[in-house]
Every structure is written in C-alpha cells, then in structure tokens.
Amino acid sequence: MKTPYDILEVAEQATDSEIKQAYLQKVKQFPPDHYHEQFQQVHQAYETIKNLKCRTQYTLFTLPDADFNRLLDAVFIFEPVVSINADQFNKLLGASVDDKTLKIATHEMMKII
C-alpha cells in the first residue's frame, strides 16, 4: 500500500511548500484530462498531508491501534524493560497541547518500543 508520501515522492519530513510543489509537478504529469485515476490518487494524497494538521491526523490514524495501550503498559507494568524516562513520559502526557508535540512525542515513543 503506497503512502501519500510515496505517491507524491516526498520525504516524511518535507515542508508544506515542498509537498505543494511536488503535488503541482504530479498534477502536470497526470492532468485530470487524461489520467482520471492517477490524478485522483495524487489529489487525495495531497489533501491528506498538505499541512501539519493533516499530517498529524494521518500519522495518528495510521498508527497501529494498540500502541497507546502498549505504551502505557510499558510505562506502568514493564517499566524496567523499556527505558522511558520522565521527560519522555511528560512529553507524551503533554502531547494534547498541540498537534506538533503530539506528533513528535508519539514518534519518539514508537522508536523506543
């Protein structure tokens, strides 16, 4: 399954404007006149990751379901196994403050487990 990043051929760290330029290039490559399906795919990919809010939603949506529980289990039950420090845990708890911190925090947690 191709991710929106694959479809637009951009890195996951790409900025809004990089993603937009990639999208415009792809639209020129697959204009709606001649490439109905590819165009729709490109357009949807762009709509999915065009700004930070969309990208965060996409990341959360595509995270495996149990991950938050696993994270909490890891913290409360098997604490010694996973080396999660107080700072990282606080980051996770403070994640709801804004989308960016949530994204960074979940990414860090994912790396640990």
Partner 1 sequence: MNEIIVGIDLGTTNSEVAIIENGQVHVITDNGRKILPSFVGIDDQGNILVGETARNQYLVYPERTVKSIKRLMGQDIKVDLAGHDYAPQEISAIILKRLKAIAEQYVKQPISKAVITVPAYFSDAQRQATREAGEIAGLEVVRMINEPTAAALAYGGNQVEQKRMLVYDLGGGTFDVSVVNIEASVVEVLSSHGDNHLGGDDFDQQIIEYILDHLIESKGVDARQHSQALARITRAAENAKFVLSDQPFVKIEEEYLLEHEGAAIHLSLELSRLDYEDMIEDYINATIDSVHIALKGAKLTPVDIDEIVLVGGSTRTPCIRERLFKEFGFEPHSEVDPDLCVAMGAATQAAMISGQKVDAVLVDVTPYTYGTSALDYLNGEYYPYTYVPIIHKNSALPIRKTEAFFTNHDGQKVVDVTIYQGEDPDALNNIKIGEFWVEGLQDVEAGNVITVTLALDLNGMLQVSAQEKATGLEKSITIQNALSRFELETLDSARRRVNKLFGQIDQASDVHTESPTDVVEACKLVAKAEALFDKSSDEDKEDMIDLIEDIQTCIEENDSDRLKEAATKLADIIYYLES
The binding site for partner 1 (CB under 8 A) comprises 20-21, 24-25, 27-28, 31-33, 36, 39-40, 43
In the complex, what is the shortest distance from the CB of residue 89 to partner 1, in angstroms, rounded to a whole number?
A: 36
SS3 of residue 53 by DSSP: helix
Which of residues 8 and 109 has its CB atom nearest to partner 1 in the complex? 8
In the complex, what is the shortest distance from the CB of residue 23 to partner 1, in angstroms, rounded to a whole number?
A: 9
Distance CA 87, CA 77 (A): 18
| Sequence-distant (≥ 6) Cβ neighbours of residue 13 within 8 angstroms | none
Which of residues 43 and 70 has its CB atom nearest to partner 1 in the complex? 43
CA 65 to centroid of chain Cα atoms: 14
